[in-house]
Every structure is written in structure tokens, then in C-alpha cells.
Amino acid sequence: MSTKYTVAVLGTGTMGQGIAQVAAAAGHATRMFDAGEGRAKAALTAIAAQLEKLVQKGKVTDEARAATMKNLSIGPTPKDVCEGADLVIEAAPEDMALKVALFEEVAKVVAPGAIFGSNTSSLSITELGRRIGAPERTVGLHFFNPPPVMELLEVVRGLGTSDETVERSLAFARGLKKTPILVRDVPGFATSRLGVILGCEAMRMLESGVASAEDIDRGMELGYRHPMGPLKLTDLVGLDVRLAILDHLTKEIGEQFRAPPILRQMVRAGKLGKKTGEGFYRWVDGAPQPK
């Protein structure tokens, strides 16, 4: 039997909602907070709808759905949901200062020895741990989109992360039925660094008229057996999220990560991908349509 935790998820957007669902389904009491008005409640409703679909398809039993929903709750402030928590997972926007402020705000109310897990795609776990004054208990728990479906969990070890935190994180990942990989804390870790470069090149190709978005994606899907082309994937991830990662990696690693102008322009126009209904595709009822 794996250890059951009280888990607090801070930020219930694209990722936090799915992370909370996965944690609750694995039997952890899971509390959610989001700074956006009504967003934690919306996440709870969306998880219920998600589970209903799975029940309809026969993939989840009624009992399992009820148990998952029973494990989920929302709270009005970060402190409320983190009171006595064994594990805090933040899935707030990709901004170091914001993540530091969130963990600092809850540090005094969590359970003794609690782990601070960050879902960051690229920021330094070492720096985060130092800035919140708990390097040994800070770890990267990098889930993939959408968390209930994707099997990988990248566990990122900062310079100060203790062996115990790493072991507990790996066990937590396995308890969620994820396959963890353990990665040293380098900018972009093992996955984002490689993933964004492909997306970046696809955008440059679109910009210079090499082919349509659909054909660039089809090339990778049919020619290289990628389950999803790089532009569709960028829409799914969120263009703003990808831009933040690229800006960070440009600073940390170099010019090969410089964001293509088309990406910056689309973010400025509010075309953030699936979550706003338009990115490199138009999204209708959750499915991509050519523009």
C-alpha cells in the first residue's frame, strides 16, 4: 500500500485540474485553490464531467468516481487548502516570483516535513528551494498534458533536494500509476528542452510558408509516428506557456530557443490555443479545425 497524503494543489488551470484529479483518484485527500474567481469551483465541475464521461465509457466504476469526488475539495485561500498538507503541488503560471510567493505564504501551515512540488516546465528547482528556505524538501513534479492520460512524471532533483524527498516523490508518482523519470535540475529538464525546440522550428516553418499548420503536423504524425504534431501540441499546451518557457531557455541556454515572432504576436492577440478557442487551429468542441 502506498502512503496516502493530504495534497494541496495551487492553481487549477490546464494542469492543476488534471493533477488534482489524478491525486484524488489515487486515494489522496486533495484540496484545490486558484487565484482566479470561481476557477477552483469550475475545476471541480470539470473533473466531475470528466469522470462522468469515463463512467459512460466503462473506464471508471461508479464507486471509483464517488471515491475520487469524495477526496476532492476546494478552499478560499492558499493557506486554507495547505493547512496540514503533506504535499503541496503548485501549478500556477510559469513565473518564479509568483511560485516563491505562493510557497512562502503557505510554508508555516503545512505539515512538518511537507514536500513542496512544482509543476514548472523549465524554472530552476534549486533556486525555488533556496528562495523558499526549504531546498531539501523542494522537488520538481513535472506532469504532462493532460495529466490523467499521460503516463510520464518527470521528477526533478534540485541541488539541495534530499534523498528522502526524491524517494517519496518517486513513490508518489508510482502510486498515481505514472512512470517517473529522475532528472537533474537543468533549464528545461529533459523533456521541455527537447519538446519546445521542435515546436519552435515548426512555427518558423509556418512563418516562412513551408507548409500549412496541418501539413507540418501531419508530417510528424505520419512520418515520425508522433501522436500529435508540434503545432497542435503547442495549442494544447498553451501558447503563453510555451512562450514563457522559450524566453526562459533563451536566457539560460541560448539563441536556439529565441521565440519566433509569430508566437509572440499570437500571444499578444490573446490566441493562446485550445484554452481560448484559437491558436494554430480553431478549437470547436475540444477538437482542432484548420483555420
Euclidean distance between the first and the last CA atom of the chain, given in angstroms as a whole number: 49
Rounded distance between C-alpha atoms, residue 38 and residue 45, angstroms = 11
User: Count residues contacting ligand NAD (CB under 6 A)?
Assistant: 27
Site string for ligand NAD, 12-41 (x = CB under 6 A): xxxxx----------------xxxx--x--
Cβ distance to ligand NAD smaller for residue 94 or 214: 94
Q: What share of the chain is helix, strand, coil (3-state, %, to 5)?
A: 50, 15, 35
CB 82 within 8 A of CB 30: no
234 binds ligand NAD (CB under 6 A): no
C-alpha distance from residue 153 to each of 106, 119, 175, 227, 237 (Å): 24, 10, 11, 18, 16
**How many CB atoms lie under 10 A from the CB of residue 223?**
8
The residue within the footprint of ligand NAD, chosen from 145, 162, 250, 276 (CB under 6 A), is: 145
| Segment lying near ligand NAD (by CB under 6 A), choices 86-94, 166-174, 258-266, 280-288 | 86-94
Report, in Å, the least distance between residue 170 CB and ligand NAD.
18
Report, in Å, the least distance between residue 272 CB and ligand NAD.
8
Rounded distance between C-alpha atoms, residue 70 and residue 56, angstroms = 19
11 binds ligand NAD (CB under 6 A): yes
Binding site for ligand NAD (CB under 6 A): 10-16, 33-36, 39, 91-94, 98, 102, 119-121, 142-143, 145, 237-238, 241
